[in-house]
Amino acid sequence: MTEWLSVLFALLVFPGFGFLLACALAFQWIDRRVEARLQGRVGPPWFQPLADLIKLLAKEDVLPVGANEIACAALPMVSLAAVLTAALYIPVGGWVARTFEGDLIVVLFLLSIPALAYFLAGWLSVSVYSVVGGSRSLLQFFSYEVPFLMALSGPAILSGSWSISRIAAQQSQAVWLALVQPLGFLLALVGLIGKLKRSPFDIPKAKSEIVAGPLTEFSGRKLALWHLTMHIQMVVGIFLLVNLFLGGSDVGVTIPGVLIFGIKALFILLMLSVASALYARLRIDQLANIGWRVLAPLALAQMLATIWIGGG
Amino acid sequence: MLERIVRWARRKSPWILHFNSGGCNGCDIEILDLLTPRYDVERLGILKEASPRHADVLLCTGPVTRQSRDRLRRIYEQIPAPKWVVAVGSCSCSGGVFRDGYNVLGGIDQVLPVDVYVPGCPCRPEALIDGLARLLEMI
């Protein structure tokens, strides 16, 4: 009985849906506010993400004639479920719901499901803009995913473990891996921006070119679920990087682990916001060029160096 | 209770879609002014959306011409309910200087139900913010 209760608690409250929802809303507000301040604006009030979410949930839900209704309803739910499941394996403040050897690989696969669902959503909702956006999102997926995976395999090789919580725990006894592999950290950050489709890599949903990309025809509840998926994915991605490169919540320090973890997560969020305020959007062919000619060779060199020096 | 929360959310997060049905582009530039640091309507939760499916408020500029009538109606129908229409500028309020033109039907209210009129040629951004604030009070 108590076991069931603890499972339910982990799924619904911490580190499951409730906690992630709160984090997603808070991070979104901080992100929008920081970006506005960098542009010399004031920015939205703190309740803005919550108001947006409730408004979208209460709006009429329409789909164009010819769109695949079942798929369009299922895709946002599937991607939200995948992102929420991935969150269960990521330690937050030294506390993790489930862990086993190799959960890093599982998390990476779960985090790539939304990208595929995003492409399918564009393909199945009959609109020229969403089809163009869908094919762009797939091309972007192939550009950032390879360097991202290679960058994230650096900490795993160096620690000799594919378990996220073990990689994080090892760093709290030694030095942060971002200091050992600054290049890998940078590549992972760039890959994360591509994964989250944030500016400057918001090519699939480029507002001034193709309306809203794959989500052009989505409205109401479905759009709310898509937005929620994106924002929770941002939280999960940031938590993942904190654990792999910034040592998670340093165990054994006098300050509580949750606080340290939060500060590190906010630091990465700040870097994402600054990047999106500083740089203009790239074209899709430029991104593919950078992904395969710059990022992938750098990530490969980093990985080989890690194997040569550290992993043995 | 639930209804009050929903009404609060709608009042705090009106996403706008902007459509020019045949004006001179003056009011459109004033609308873009709203997004700049000087006026920054994101303070009020207003975002400019590109897809009618995501929008709540239709900002119309310019008089309705015979050419654009059907497209205007189509865009209005694509916005999911609940939705509101704001007529921006003298032309979209009444037809303005184009009123008696052979190809002009008149103001936006000849085609769509308009909630708020913001006159001016072109209207000042302050007047636009005032009009949007009045619309939010109506919601």
Nearest CA among A298, A249, A226, A274 for reference residue A72: A226
Residues paired with residue B47 on neighbouring β-strands, in sequence order: B15
Whether cis (ω within 30° of 0) applies to the bond prior to A204 is no
The CA distances from residue B47 to A166, A179, A250, B6, B90, in Å, are 43, 39, 40, 18, 24
Query: Which residues have C-beta within 8 Å of that of residue A312, sequence separation ≥ 6?
Result: none
A153-209 pLDDT per residue, tens: 888 888 778 888 778 777 777 777 777 788 888 888 898 998 888 888 888 887 777
Q: By the 8 A CB rule, do A76 and A229 touch?
A: yes
Given A36, A52, A207, which is nearest B13 (Cβ)? A52
Please give the domain boundaries of chain B with CATH numbers for all domains. 2-138 (3.40.50.12280)
Token pair in block for residue A254: 């006098």
Is pLDDT at A258 greater than 80 in this prediction? no
Q: Any CB–CB contact under 8 A between B1 and chain A?
A: no
- Alpha-carbon gap, residue A72 to A76, rounded angstroms: 7
Q: How much is the pTM?
A: 0.86
Is pLDDT at A253 greater than 70 in this prediction? no
- Alpha-carbon gap, residue A37 to A42, rounded angstroms: 6
- Alpha-carbon gap, residue A89 to A9, rounded angstroms: 15
| Chain A residues close to B45, C-beta within 8 Å | 44-45, 48, 51-52
Token pair in block for residue A83: 């992102």
Amino acid A29: pLDDT: 92
Question: What's the rounded mean pLDDT across residues B101-105?
Answer: 86
Q: Which DSSP letter does residue A92 get?
A: B
- The number of beta carbons lying within 10 Å of the beta carbon of residue A161 is 17
- The number of beta carbons lying within 10 Å of the beta carbon of residue A256 is 12
Whether cis (ω within 30° of 0) applies to the bond prior to A114 is no
Task: Enumerate residues 57 to 76 of chain A having a beta carbon within 8 A of any beta carbon in chain B.
Answer: 58-62
Q: What is the ipTM of this complex?
A: 0.83
CB contact under 8 Å between B40 and A36, yes or no, is: yes
How would you label B62-72 residue by residue, b for 16+ Cβ within 10 Å and e otherwise? bbbbeebbeeb
Is pLDDT at A254 greater than 70 in this prediction? no
Which range among A21-30, A56-65, A102-111, A278-287 shows the weakest confidence by mean pLDDT?
A56-65
CB contact under 8 Å between A47 and B81, yes or no, is: no
Looking at per-residue pLDDT, the higher value among B54 and A13 belongs to: B54
CB contact under 8 Å between B37 and A50, yes or no, is: no
Q: Is A68 helix (H, G, I), strand (E, B) or coil?
A: coil
Task: Enumerate residues 248 to 307 of chain A having a beta carbon within 8 A of any beta carbon in chain B.
Answer: none
Nearest CA among B108, B120, B115, B118 for reference residue B135: B115
Amino acid A251: pLDDT: 59
Amino acid at B29: I
Query: Which residues have C-beta within 8 Å of that of residue A109, sequence separation ≥ 6?
Result: none
Amino acid B98: pLDDT: 86
